[in-house]
Amino acid sequence: MLKRGFLNCRSGYNAGTTPEYNRTVPRFLLPAALALAAALSAQSPFFPLKDIKPGMRGTGRTVFSGARIEEFQVEILGILDNIGPKESLILARLSGGPLEHTGVMQGMSGSPVYIDGKLAGAVAMAFPFSKDPIAGIRPIQDMVRSSATLASAPRPRPLIALNDRDLTRPLPKPEPALPGGERMVDISTPISFGGFSRATLDAFAPQLRALGLEPRQSISAGSKIEPGMGNPADLKPGSMISIQLMAGDYGLGADGTVTYIDGNRVYAFGHRFLDIGSTELPFARSEVIALLPNLNTSFKLSDAREWMGTINQDRNTAVSGELGKRASMVPVSLEISRGSRPIESYQMRMVNDPLLSPLLIQMAVYSVIDETERTVGAATIRVSGEVEFQNSPPVRIDNMFAADNGSAQQGSLSAAIPVAYVMQSGFRTLRLNKVALKIETYDQKKQLTIDGISVARRTVRAGEKVQLNVVLIGENGAETTRRLDYDVPIGAEPGILYFTVADANTTNLADFRQILTSNPHSPAQLITTVNNLHPNTKAFVRVWRADPAFQLEGADLPDPPASVAMILANSQSSLAAITQTRNSKIAEIEIDGGDMVISGVKTVQVEIKE
């Protein structure tokens, strides 16, 4: 019987009939699968992007006044597909509250939007100069996905060169708005400056706007952020937050709105802040003081109230962080004096970030100089001090700048560029520990210009002395001559010997070109190189020949034998530490300018006879 039944079953199967188990299983599994899918969908707090259709209505949440979260209405207009790699955007019209008069405001970035009680996304983009409150809503799925920590990239060479003038150059720039507002762009992030001079905002505004930031003078309600952490329960979707880049005598904060909180994880903004990836930026709960309607773009004025946590991811579609976690901040001390007479001191704490910290130092030093000294007319600025790093020697800063105008820009850049060069080298162990700078100002232009160099004799022999006269011109044509002697080495080969007197910048390029354009091997080597750069209160007489030479990790190898030169030349492609130079340095003589800046370059030549 068993055998016959088995044969009948196979016979039925071969004949195309459905076996008993194939007829019964779907009747049980299909309803169960559908029920499970419905249950999972019901449990998800997110509204699926694929289910969003034009004409749907929802509600948004944001703060218009104080800390009170209010609702506004949202009408779905459609879906913009492929606005980025695997990214879509929900197009919607906003209404309710003050939006009819203000339109989409700066500071609303991150305001959550709900459909049928489920989170669909965050207000993130808008059409510049639009009369109607039309917004782009970032799907919440894209925001949550962006918070995943990405693998670290290989260590690059320093992002900033020591002769750079723009510290924002390494920061990624968002797409600019097109004329007439034809393209939807990220809502600009308002960044509030507290304590900074108005001229500081004006000086840095073009660079900040290129980053998608809108600088504003801070309007405080009179309170300061208390040092303790606030209650995480006070922060909700729709609450206003401020990413605090600097706090103390100077304050700097970027404002946005919380979109979603998952346990102790918080998501906000709906777009990049600066798109710097993994970071450590403290954020505080803020309250809105006022709304300022504007024909260009309206914005919220807010005031930070209490610390809430740390933003540790800044990606293209959102910023995200951790509630209750305190970010480490770096103490910054700035002292300014007029000559030897102290005027004022400033104490702040700033974020510890390779891309942001140098820029913050530059803006703070600029403001200190601008607030206490004249910015028009001849002036001299000296910036000195140390920048300490954890488990590494400090970077020493000591430079002077003299100019008829723009001394604040030069002085502040001289303090920040070495810090940027070191912090952006890629060594993760190089974390800031402390910044302490002294700024001395003078109302006159303390500068010497190299006017010429001459020699007593044009021909000499090996073992003889070359007498050099360097002429320096100061203010009102005052002339100073420095006399130097150079002993031609015994056994020196006949030929032309050059003497070039140059300022520190020119000499640094000649002496450190190879090592400054290659990857440093260690933090110690990097900091040693920066500390060995020549100060601009000195000039240097370079003695050289027009013979091929090489640099090996910054060390000069002048006029090597032909066989050695061939080996070194053939090794340049395989060893980045070897570089061929156009001339061979024989010696270097220093000229001290005291408390005067020296600039210029001149050359003279002497023939060595047999």
Write out the DSSP string of 583-594: SEEEEEEEEE-T
172 falls within a domain: no
334 falls within a domain: yes
pLDDT of residue 583: 66
pLDDT of residue 226: 79
Helices (H) and strands (E) in the chain, counts: 10, 33
489 falls within a domain: yes
Say yes or no: 456 and 355 in one domain. Answer: no
Strand partners, 151: none
User: 357-372 vs 407-423: helix axis angle to the nearest 10?
Assistant: 160
Q: Which two tokens stand for residue 83?
A: 């606005």
Q: Which of 362, 355, 474 is nearest to 411 (CA)?
A: 362
Tell me the pairing of strands 189-194 and 213-217.
Answer: parallel
pLDDT of residue 37: 45
> Cα dihedral angle (384, 508, 358, 522), rounded to 10 degrees?
-110
Strand segments (E) across 269-357: 277-292, 299-314, 319-323, 329-338, 341-351
Strand segments (E) across 86-164: 87-95, 112-115, 118-126, 134-139
pLDDT of residue 92: 96
Q: Which two tokens stand for residue 104?
A: 């989409």
Say yes or no: 364 and 386 in one domain. Answer: yes
3-state secondary structure of 460: strand
Listed residues 420, 442, 464: the one ending a domain: 442
Say yes or no: 544 and 480 in one domain. Answer: yes
pLDDT of residue 294: 74
Listed residues 442, 462, 491: the one ending a domain: 442
303: which residues sit within 8 A by CB, 6+ positions away? Answer: 218, 219, 220, 221, 223, 286, 287, 289
Q: What is the distance between the alpha carbons of residues 422 and 444, in angstroms, rounded to a whole number?
A: 32
Is 64 exposed, middle or buried, given 0-12, 13-18 or 19+ CB atoms closer than 10 A?
Answer: buried
215 falls within a domain: no
pLDDT of residue 298: 83
Count of other CB atoms within 10 angstroms of residue 584: 18
| Range(s) of the domain holding residue 585 | 447-609
Is 501 exposed, middle or buried, given 0-12, 13-18 or 19+ CB atoms closer than 10 A?
Answer: buried
Say yes or no: 465 and 505 in one domain. Answer: yes
Helices (DSSP H) in 196-272: which residue ranges? 198-210
219 falls within a domain: no
Helices (DSSP H) in 71-134: which residue ranges? 99-102
Q: Which two tokens stand for residue 208?
A: 């900040």
Q: Evaluate whether 81 touches 88 at the Cβ level (below 8 Å).
A: yes
Q: What is the distance between the alpha carbons of residues 76 and 56, in angstroms, rounded to a whole number?
A: 5
Say yes or no: 517 and 575 in one domain. Answer: yes
Strand partners, 591: 539
Listed residues 417, 442, 467: the one ending a domain: 442
Say yes or no: 371 and 452 in one domain. Answer: no
Rounded to the nearest angstrom, the gap between the alpha carbon of residue 41 and the centroid of all alpha carbons in its chain is: 41
125 falls within a domain: no
Say yes or no: 527 and 603 in one domain. Answer: yes
183 falls within a domain: no
**Consecutive 10-residue averages of pLDDT for the chain (610 residues):** 37 41 46 46 82 96 95 95 82 93 92 97 89 92 75 52 86 69 82 93 94 86 73 95 95 96 96 93 94 78 92 94 95 92 94 95 95 76 94 92 82 92 87 95 90 94 95 91 94 93 89 67 87 92 80 55 53 49 81 92 94
Is 395 exposed, middle or buried, given 0-12, 13-18 or 19+ CB atoms closer than 10 A?
Answer: buried
3-state secondary structure of 580: strand
Please count the structural domains in the chain. 3
486 falls within a domain: yes
pLDDT of residue 568: 47
Say yes or no: 377 and 489 in one domain. Answer: no
pLDDT of residue 20: 44
Say yes or no: 419 and 496 in one domain. Answer: no
Q: Sign of torsion, CA 2 3 6 8?
A: negative
Say yes or no: 547 and 462 in one domain. Answer: yes
Tell me the pairing of strands 584-592 and 447-455.
Answer: unpaired
Q: What single DSSP character describes residue 232?
A: G
Say yes or no: 360 and 425 in one domain. Answer: yes
Say yes or no: 533 and 406 in one domain. Answer: no
pLDDT of residue 23: 46
Q: Which two tokens stand for residue 98?
A: 């003050």
pLDDT of residue 529: 86
